Amino acid sequence: MTRALALIAVAATLTLPRPATASSCQATSFKQQMSAADVIFVGRAREIDAELATTFDVVQVYKGDVPARVIVETGRVKYAMLSPPHNYLVLATRNEQAQPGNLFVHLCSGSHREPYPVGTFEQLGEGKPPAPAPAPPTEPTPPVTATAPEPAPPAPAPTSPPPIPARGCTVDDAPRTPLALLLVLLLRRRGHHRRQQITGHRKNISDIGPT
């Protein structure tokens, strides 16, 4: 009975899925890994996030075009993570498993942490510097619309010359007070009486005549 249970336990262990290990990747040659990679570069791991994605400062590029800073994802597989602060030779691919603009590696991609295997760079050949970082998008400049000039203000209307005052005596049409009317009446009576005296005096002289 004990032997039967032991055999069942061994069978169950053999049938359970096991994570890939470094030994399972030994069947793939470095030349095959180089051929399968979209990009190959040497860079320094700066930081790693909760998704096990590592941000790299790229130093030298040996295949493809890589910006000076790039994020390499692992699909949250801890056996494939590239932990800072170390230098790595990264063999990565561009596929739908990574976010747009990011790279992707798995356990058997062929990435190595420094020190690198002997003869690695002889197989890689001469490298090149990373591509410059893309410029941030600029907002489109709104089109300039020509504005019509403002109309000139209307010319002032011609003004008529001031009226010329009439020469001679003017009649005061202002209403007169009773005192003024009385004074006018007295002056008129006095003038009338004076004219009567002058007329009578002339008549007397004419009646006398020459002697």
Q: What is the pLDDT of residues 28-86, one digit of tens each?
A: 889 999 999 999 999 999 999 999 999 999 999 999 999 999 999 999 998 899 999 99
Q: Which residues have C-beta within 8 Å of that of residue 40, sequence separation ≥ 6?
A: 34, 61, 62, 63, 64, 89, 90, 91, 92, 124
Query: Can you read off the two tokens belonging to residue 85?
Result: 């602060």
Give CA–CA dist 110/46, Å, rounded: 20
Neighbours of 169 (CB within 10 A): 6
pTM (2 d.p.): 0.54
3-state secondary structure of 166: coil
Of 125, 127, 77, 128, nearest in space to 104 by CA: 77
